[in-house]
Chain A
Amino acid sequence: MPETNADIPQQVLDLIGKHQYEEETEFEIEMGYVYNTLAAVQNANPLYWDKSFAEQVVGAQIAPPTMLSVWFRPHYWSPGFEGERTALQSHFDMKRIMELPEAIIGGNESIFGVPVKMGDKLRTYQVLTSVSEVKKTRVGTGRFWVIEVHCFNQHDEHVGTDIYNCFGYRRPAQ
């Protein structure tokens, strides 16, 4: 594992600030996943359960804002792909390039824009914005990095940004 900023691979330095993984959602936004999310946290907000109410208040049926990242997670499997498909691919790229076998998301910030409506088709890109020096924490030794995920709808309206603070590391025994 590189020990100082000077040892960060050029491949990583070249990625900082670069738009990566520009892609669209694999399906149009739909209520099925919204209901699953509401059920998982017992969220009774009528904005999502009552179509008539949503249309009067927002003008359309919408998804909860915090579901933003849900829409960009790939199916676990789909034709033509082999192995596990992962969301936030630039995070997994960092683990591989930095030779850090473990990683956690230590913090997350979301900024919510135009509501995501049923039938929307969203697009996104990921940006690596920073990589830290080597840090030692209670889970292991590694580096922090920050990835921003910017999301837009089919009208190029900003629907939100997710900012992930990640820590890639080796456990003491590794």
Chain B
Amino acid sequence: MSANLNPKLTAAQVSVGDELPPLTVPVTATTVVLGALASRDWRPMHHDRDFAVNRNGVRDIFINTPNNAAWFERYITDWTGPFGRLGRMKFRMNSSVFPGDEMLMSGSVKNVSTDAAGCCWLDLNVCVSVDGEVSTSCEARVAIPEDASDNPWARKGDQWRP
């Protein structure tokens, strides 16, 4: 396998208000369990329906926090390409995502800036919705190449200011 060493997205290609292409994901029990175990989260509400219903008072097992983060990362870097480097991510769960739900991931560019070290930062508003209701909202800060010669992954020390 040999990936393209040219950045997919550079600063000149992004403007405030740009929208990320939507992504829909049908959620099954396997989606939830796979995500929980991949993130080494053994808590029963993510694999044991009886526990989730009777102890947590919810309708089924549900997607766990680290897996939520992994879905956001995948969604964002699908758009930026591999040169996109996450600096910061903040999210809030309003409601859980259960088997049988269809996640709709969407997002937009809130701000584009270049810091004192010359790093181009995109502030993104991203969310997961189910049946038209936002279940998780996320504010992400991702660095992309300023131009084709820049590589955010090469930034270290004072050059990396997430």
Contact = CB atoms under 8 A, between A and B. Distances in A.
A114 B156 contact: yes
B87 A45 contact: no
B39 A67 contact: yes
Given A33-B40, A110-B69, A53 B90 contact: no
Given A43-B77, A46-B3, A50-B2, A66 B89 contact: yes
B153 A41 contact: no
Contact of A65 (B55, B65, B73): B73
Given A36-B37, A66-B70, A171-B57, A45 B89 contact: no
Given A40-B34, A41-B67, A66-B66, A102 B56 contact: yes
Nearest to B81: A45
Contacts of A40: 31, 34-35, 38-39, 67, 70
Given A45-B82, A50-B3, A105 B73 contact: no
Given A107-B92, A113-B162, A53 B3 contact: yes
A49 B38 contact: no
Nearest to B68: A108
Interface string A150-174: 0000000000000001000001000
B5 interface: yes
B83 A57 contact: yes
Contacts of A52: 1-2
Nearest to B45: A104
Most buried by B among A36, A53, A57, A87: A57
Contact of B65 (A44, A58, A108, A111): A108
Interface residues of A, number: 46
Most buried by B among A43, A86, A165: A43
B82 A111 contact: no
Binding site secondary structure of chain A: mixed
A58 B56 CA distance: 42
A42 B71 CA distance: 9
B2 A66 contact: no
B14 interface: no
A111 B91 CA distance: 12
Contact of A67 (B42, B66, B77, B92): B66
Given A45-B74, A105-B65, A109-B88, 18 more contacts: A41-B73, A46-B3, A47-B77, A50-B3, A57-B82, A67-B66, A70-B66, A73-B39, A104-B93, A106-B92, A109-B89, A109-B90, A110-B90, A111-B87, A111-B162, A112-B86, A113-B160, A115-B153
Interface of B: 1-3, 5, 31, 34-35, 37-43, 55-57, 65-67, 69-74, 77-78, 82-83, 85-93, 151, 153-154, 156, 160, 162
